[in-house]
Amino acid sequence: MIKKLPIKWKLTIWSSVLLSVLFISYNLLQYIVIEKWSVSYEQQNMQHQLTEIEAFLKEKSIRDPSELQRYDHYFATINEKNQMIRILDEKGKPVFTVSHSVPSSWVKPKKATSLQYEIVHHYEDRLLILRSPMTAFSGTIEIVRNMETFDDFRDTIFLVMVATVAGAVILSFLGGSIIAKQLLVNVQAMTNTVKRIKKNGLNERVPVNDTNDELAQLGKLFNDLMDDLEQSFLQQKQFVEDASHELRTPLTIIKGHLTMLNRWGKHDPNVLNKSLQSSLKEVERLNQLVHELLELSRAESEAPNMTEWEMVDVRLVMDSVIRNFENVYADYTFRQIRSESAYIRIVARHLEQIFVILLDNAVKYSQESRKEIHVSIYQEDDVAKIEVKDFGIGIPQADLPYVFRRFYRVDKARSRKQGGNGLGLSIAKRLVEKYGGTISIESKEGQGTTVVMAFPVVRL
């Protein structure tokens, strides 16, 4: 039953129950202690009186109960309020009684052979009785004390206790529900936001107050998470749009050629040949684009698989990539300005991929100028630095911040002509960052471009 209640009620009920148990047990303990203590206090008091009476009888050398009557004045003074002193003869018959507000008829006389206490009730009154055999003569003395005053006091205390328990329960109930309400206002706000997100989309946020308590922190965290989610959702959407757009261009061109061939070109070997060549080129481009998209997706999503990481000497990888480029681009000069050994932890194939992208760009964008590419590899403190510098067309200052974005090309037409899809640098950046490295680009339009990378080195 209680499991199904809202947290607010659970908190309230638990706090009230716990507090009442605490208060009730504390009060009960106090009540028992008071009760025990006062009975024993009264007993001591009565015993003290008994000793005094015995001493008095001894002093007056009283040997027979019948002599007692003479000293009733003494007994009247020693007797306390709400108390009766009664003396029984050896047969147990009352022979002498002094009393203040305790009628003799309330207590049946009883002989005693040793000191004993008894508690009897007479209607609402509680009577504490001390019985003891007399030493002066054979007989019994009974001191009967009405606990009325103490009982009244005890009842008052009891009432006060009940009132405090009731007060405590009410207070804890109110306090509990106020605290629970305060706590849960934020949770409720969050629940409402999640409901709205479900209904309206990712742009809803939790209202966060400036208390900076745990719930406010949770709210902030939730909003941050939603920001990231929204951001990544928008990016994905943008990416799909961009990718579709990029895919459509070659497809449109191929379709144009096929339509043309279908209409007129079938019997014209010239047109046929030209269109087939163009279409093949576009298919090749499509192939390349799909390949790059796949690479990018891998670079973005794959969690680094540490087991594949190996110690790689950057210089050796660069040497082999440069050798390949030299074979393909015989008209370019690749100069290694600095070539030091530097070991980093990486998947060798990825490092190769990064170098290919950078050298490919360097070649692509310096076709009409000085065909020289400078490469430097060196170690600075704990960092392996790699620089690839060309003297080509460069990148305008305004475009520099965007070149790492997916599909970003400075000059769409020129880049496309050179086979660029605008994905190279974004793939390179994702890969570099995956291995804890950084990549930056400096460029002056018309003078050339330098890409600088830094990777943490492995100490040997």
Q: How far is the CB of 336 from ligand ADP (least distance, A)?
A: 18
Q: Does residue 415 touch ligand ADP according to CB under 6 A? A: yes
Please identify the residue of the shown chain whose CB is closest to the bound ligand ADP: 420
Kind of pairing between the strands at 370-380 and 333-339: parallel
Q: Does residue 144 touch ligand ADP according to CB under 6 A? A: no
Binding footprint of ligand ADP, residue count (CB under 6 A): 22
Helices (H), 329-389: 348-364
Q: In the window 394-413, what residues touch ligand ADP (CB under 6 A)? A: 394-395, 403, 408-411
Cβ closest to ligand ADP, residue 109 vs residue 422: 422
Q: How far is the CB of 449 from ligand ADP (least distance, A)?
A: 4
Cβ closest to ligand ADP, residue 264 vs residue 402: 402
Q: How far is the CB of 239 from ligand ADP (least distance, A)?
A: 14
Distance CA 122, CA 223 (A): 75
- CA-based torsion, 103, 105, 108, 111: positive or negative: positive
Distance CA 393, CA 16 (A): 78
Q: How far is the CB of 292 from ligand ADP (least distance, A)?
A: 8
Q: How far is the CB of 202 from ligand ADP (least distance, A)?
A: 29
Distance CA 355, CA 353 (A): 6
Q: Which of 425, 439, 453, 457 binds ligand ADP (CB under 6 A)?
A: 425
Q: In the window 296-335, what residues touch ligand ADP (CB under 6 A)? A: none
Burial 258-294 (b: 16+ CB within 10 A, else e): eeebeeebeeeeeebeebeeebeebeebbeebeebbe
Half-sphere exposure in the Cβ direction for 212 (13 Å, CA): 0
Helix, coil or strand: residue 311 = strand
Q: Does residue 424 touch ligand ADP according to CB under 6 A? A: yes
Long-range contacts of 123-129, Cβ-Cβ distance < 8 Å, separation of 24 or more: 125/151, 126/151, 127/102, 128/39, 128/42, 128/43, 128/46
What x-and-dash track marks residues 356-395 binding ligand ADP by CB under 6 A? -----xx--x------------------------x-xxxx
Residue written as token pair 């291995």: 435
User: What residues contact residue 183 under an 8 Å CB cut-off, 6+ apart?
Assistant: 11, 215
Cβ closest to ligand ADP, residue 385 vs residue 430: 430
Q: How far is the CB of 338 from ligand ADP (least distance, A)?
A: 19
Q: In the window 60-89, what residues touch ligand ADP (CB under 6 A)? A: none
Q: How far is the CB of 447 from ligand ADP (least distance, A)?
A: 10
Give the footprint of ligand ADP on this chain (CB under 6 A): 361-362, 365, 390, 392-395, 403, 408-411, 415, 420-426, 449
